[in-house]
Amino acid sequence: MRNKRAFLPGEELATIEEFDVGYGTYSDGDKVRASIVGKAIYDLKARVVKLEPLSKRLLMPSEGDVVLGSVEMVQGPIIHVRIKYINGQRSNKGFIGLALFQNKNEDKELIKVSDIIKAKVISLENGIIHLSIEKDDGVIHTLCSLCGGKVKRIGDRAIKCVKCGNVEVRKLSKYFGNLTEILSS
Ligand SMILES: [Zn+2]
């Protein structure tokens, strides 16, 4: 259950009998109060109230951040990435980051449209989010480009479709196939 209103630090969210303290809250006698500015989320099952920070909604990528995003377009050597997570936090602002293929000739086919990739923000020069795809970065999720089937990793740079057997080469992240691990690291 979500409460649409934003709470300010010190405001009462619930009584301790109703809900336990969660992220962004504290107990004050028999009351649970907000310790940050945020929207309240009442987990009725776990009987916990927590706050979703408002600042998270304005989260901007900055230099050094790790981002996850889906490849929207590959234009020459430039990969357009729609950023979905910034340092493990969901971002729905629709930021687009640009990454360059390291080796224009060889890497071109290694990252394709609609792949989910991990990358690092290297600069925000000229208002552009510049991304770099470093050693452990690259594709963390993709589907077979022939049939759309699920794929599994077969080695450092290859995936195989479990449906049609098609083998493709990709710049795979070491976290390929493990979104959960990557989001908690
Ligand atoms: Zn396939």
Whether residues 25 and 110 fall in one domain: no
Same domain, 53 and 75: no
Ligand 1: distance of its center to the CA of 162 in Å? 7
Query: 35, 58, 81 — which closes off a domain?
Result: 58
Same domain, 93 and 148: yes
Dig out the tokens for 104 from the structure.
């224009």
pLDDT tens-digit map of 57-106: 457 888 889 999 999 999 888 999 999 998 888 888 889 999 988 765 55
Whether residues 70 and 109 fall in one domain: yes
pTM for the full predicted model: 0.67
86 shares its domain with 160: yes
90 or 143, which is more confident: 143
**Of 140, 122, 150, the residue nearest 64 (C-alpha):** 122
Do 177 and 105 lie in a common domain? yes
What is the domain count for the chain?
A: 2
**In sequence order, what DSSP letters do the residues of 41-79 get, joined into one string?**
EEETTTTEEEEEEGGGGG----TT-EEEEEEEEEETTEE
CA 170 – ligand 1 centroid, Å: 15
Cα-to-centroid distance, 111 and ligand 1 (Å): 17
Query: Residues 42, 89: one domain?
Result: no
**The domain spanning residue 131 has which CATH number?**
2.40.50.140
Q: What is the pLDDT of residue 109?
A: 67
Do 42 and 87 belong to one domain? no
Tell me the pLDDT of the chain averaged across its residues. Answer: 87
Ligand 1 mean position to 74 CA, how many Å?
21
Q: What is the CATH number of the domain that holds 9?
A: 2.40.50.100
Q: Specify whether 54 is located in the same domain as 75.
A: no
| CA 181 – ligand 1 centroid, Å | 26
Is the model more confident about 108 or about 140? 140
DSSP 81: E
Half-sphere exposure of 68 (CA within 13 A, CB side): 24
160 in the same domain as 81: yes
Answer yes or no: do 50 and 89 share one domain.
Answer: no
What residues form DSSP beta bridges with 169? 158
Residues belonging to the chain: 185
Q: How far is the CA of 117 from the centre of ligand 1 (A)?
A: 20
Q: Could you tell me if 54 and 82 lie in one domain?
A: no
Position 131 confidence tier, pLDDT thresholds 50, 70, 90: very high
CA end-to-end distance (rounded Å), the chain? 28
AA identity, residue 105? N
- Strands 78-86 and 96-100 turn out to be antiparallel
Domain that holds residue 164: 66-184
